[in-house]
A and B are shown apart, each in its own frame.
Chain A
Amino acid sequence: MALADLTVSVPVLAKARRKKLNQRKKTIVVFLFACLLLLGITVGGILAAETAVTADLSQKYITPSLQHLFGTDQLGRDMLARVVKGLSTSILIGLGAASCSAVLAILLGSAAALLGEKVDAAITWLIDLMLGIPHIVLLILISYALGKGFWGVTVGVALTHWPSLSRVIRGEILQLKETQYVKTARKLGQSSWRIAVKHMLPAVFPQFLVGLILLFPHAILHEAGITFLGFGLPPEQPAIGVILAESMKYLSVGMWWLAFFPGAALIGVVALFDLAGGSLRRLIDPHSAQE
């Protein structure tokens, strides 16, 4: 090999793709943005409660305009106010029901993992059973049992959404039980209660939080669905499901705005929850940070 070869400029054979933005800061901003927006909608809905049910028969069937951004319905009610109120109701029911569901999930999940084989087998069986009936059929049954209405849908959603999160928590705790530090703590004679609080809770909590936030969108969609079918909130309440069920009557005459905006807004809210949950997961779990 000639000596001159060594001085030849070194060719580049591969170049890494670089990302410009700092991912982590971006994630925090996105998370805060999603939370703030959701809070805004919830508060807005509470403020718009009055307008949402105020009928004005001189203002019927108005197509979307600057005055009524989402148009008005068959009773001349402002659709924007109705949609915001509906979303707000959905968010509140979703939050309430999903939180109850998550509490159920953590209770049953940790009971399965900690209280021995028999309890575990029973709870695992229950989980399989719950997942074996289509959600919506179970929701119809539970809602029917409770006489429909607010309680029917809330309890229904709360009772049907815990199995998958509960499975995650059970798996997490079972794994934790096998870790060295928990085994050591046990050998050192620490009480079960202390181990649970000091060693397990901090490890399970982030999983729980992410799981909880990702339950919200499911809960909201199911609430809207079951209300749409007539098993949820009563017709006089401006819920998204009610609004959409009413809009069906006017669809064939071309009143698209009655159906379009409420649904699109619902997608927005669900997507915001997904966004918040996803970014929280990225912040907590370093493995998904590179995606």
Chain B
Amino acid sequence: MTCLTKKHILEIENLSVSFLQYDKGMRQRSLQVITNLSVSVHEGEIVAVVGASGSGKSLLAHAVLGLLPANADVSGTLRFEGKPLTAASIAALRGKGITLVPQSIAYLDPLLKAGKAVRKNKRDAGARKKQRELFAHFQLDPATENLYPFELSGGMARRVLLAAALMDDPRLIIADEPTPGLDLELAKKALADFRAFADQGNGVLLITHDIELALSVADRIAVFYAGTTVEEAPVIDFEAETTLRHPYTKALWRALPENGFAALPGNQPYVKAMPKGCPFGPRCSLFSPSCEGEIPLKTIRCGTVRCIKATGSVEV
């Protein structure tokens, strides 16, 4: 799929998630929130999943960790270091191979001190030492370990969450919007930490709404639109519009400040009113009736795309 020869850490193929809900209180219906999503992370790589806020990106993180609520249907193929995952093996990997950096302070137990939370309640000297090293690394005052979450500032809380993730020596970090609330300096530092972590041969799946941030740190970008990834491309392809594959990605590119700030009109389709075929169809200038059929995943150069109009040649 990609031009990388390195080993995969995580592969997600055709992941679909739907929720069972009550419709007007009378009927049950299933609400498809993620459809045929595919993305992969290699050793030493940061892959950013970029999409608008509220498009269900967090659900991706929870789905990979097998932590969706009981009214969710999840299907698809997940592989970790080449081995296919089942519901049971996912549970065994949590905190051992894969770990999560969550998006807010609400993910910390309000009655647990920061140090203890990072150590997962462990008291042994080894855990304590490691936790102190991590705190020092993140420039957290040693006294921070005795603070409760409500006493932490936004920036401190985020560093505590990062420390908690690294405490587990994972192979893969799934980071769900890890930088909002950090000042620029700290945000850069957090991203540098992800970079360093990846450079040791690990993987990071960075879920974010901030495309500029993604471009500054990631190796590859997966563009998330209406519950699926429409394009997966090396970051270098974002240097020019012409090397991009999907019309939505191009629209995102044009919306960047340095490229003209041109916002795309319209909104993402609501999950209950998904268009047939390509979800981007109604907003696409290249739309034709054939877009309402099935859209296969195409590999073009070193990336993938879900668009029947995309071609291998670089348009000028």
Contact = CB atoms under 8 A, between A and B. Distances in A.
A286 B21 CA distance: 13
Contacts of A286: 25
A24 B66 CA distance: 31
Name the residue among A11, A13, A15 with the largest chain B CB count within 10 angstroms: A13
A5 B25 contact: no
B118 to A, nearest CB: 29
Interface in A1-54: 1, 5-6, 8, 10-19, 22-25
Interface in B21-62: 22, 25-28, 30
Nearest to A27: B25
A10 B75 contact: yes
Secondary structure class of chain B's binding surface, majority of residues: strand
* B contact residues, range: 20 to 34
B26 A13 contact: no
Interface string B177-190: 00000000000000
Interface stretch (B11-19, B121-129, B167-175): B11-19
Contacts of B14: 10
Contacts of B27: 22
A5 B13 contact: yes
A17 B84 CA distance: 24
B165 interface: no
A24 B20 contact: no
Contacts of B76: 10-11, 13
A14 B66 contact: yes
B72 interface: yes
B203 to A, nearest CB: 16
Nearest to B40: A1
Interface in B61-119: 63, 66, 68, 70-78, 84-87, 90
B74 A13 contact: yes
B66 A13 contact: yes
Interface string A272-291: 00000000000000100110
Contacts of A10: 14, 16, 75-77
